[in-house]
Amino acid sequence: MQKVGELAKFFSSSSTSSKDAAGVMCVAAFPLPFAYTEKASKDLAKGTKPPKMWDMKGGEGNPLWFYASQLFDTYQMHDSGGSSEVTESFLPVHVTKAEQRAVTGGDALLFEVESDKPASEAALKRFQMPAAYKDQKIRFGWVQFAPGGIASGQGVLSVSFATAVNTKLNIEEVVNQVSAAKIKPL
């Protein structure tokens, strides 16, 4: 939880689109599906470009694949001193909230981003997302809540969510519910 305060400081100073923020959200809350990373690594080893997640079989109707696909762009292969280097490339997102704050019953990190562009028709169709997602950007949120505060040494509750931006669900609603839940340590 100490390091998440650094995360909040880093992103709170940024008001522009950020691929780094998408990378953090993808790694922390919406990881790439194993089946996709396995396929991508095989393709990269053969020297071919991996498919987009919505072009790959296996994720049909899976909302977690959909959300990850709205953060992750592709793998990039580069020549680096005679050997190949593979890096992950993320899509730009707008950071709407990045802060650490004291809340009822403890401390919380709030991290919320919104996609810069609406999801593609292909992604919506493949992952069978609701019609309300058409032409909508996606809001991603991640809350880490430390009951009793950071210094208490208790466990941390991590909650993530994703939804179309035209819904009322946002990071403030989630942190209010989490902090009001009266979570007790084991």
Yes or no: say if 111 and 141 are a contact pair by the CB < 8 Å rule. Answer: yes
Q: How many structural domains comprise the chain? A: 2
100-116 pLDDT per residue, tens: 899 988 889 899 999 99
Q: Which domain holds residue 47?
A: 34-90
Q: Are residues 112 and 99 in the same domain?
A: yes
Q: Are residues 116 and 137 in the same domain?
A: yes
Instruction: Please indicate, yes or no, if residue 76 is contained in any of the structural domains.
Output: yes
67-76 pLDDT per residue, tens: 999 999 999 8
Mean pLDDT calculated for residue range 112-141:
94
Yes or no: say if 94 and 71 are a contact pair by the CB < 8 Å rule. Answer: no
Q: Are residues 111 and 60 in the same domain?
A: no
Return the number of other C-beta atoms located less than 10 Å from residue 118's C-beta. Answer: 17
Joined together, the tokens standing for residue 76 give 């990039």
pLDDT at 1 > cutoff 50: no
Q: Which 3 state secondary structure label does DSSP give 92?
A: coil
Q: Are residues 128 and 60 in the same domain?
A: no
Q: CA-CA distance, 40 to 86, in Å (whole number)?
A: 11
**Percent of residues, the chain, with pLDDT higher than 90:** 51
Please report where in the chains the tokens 């210094």 appear, as a residue.
151
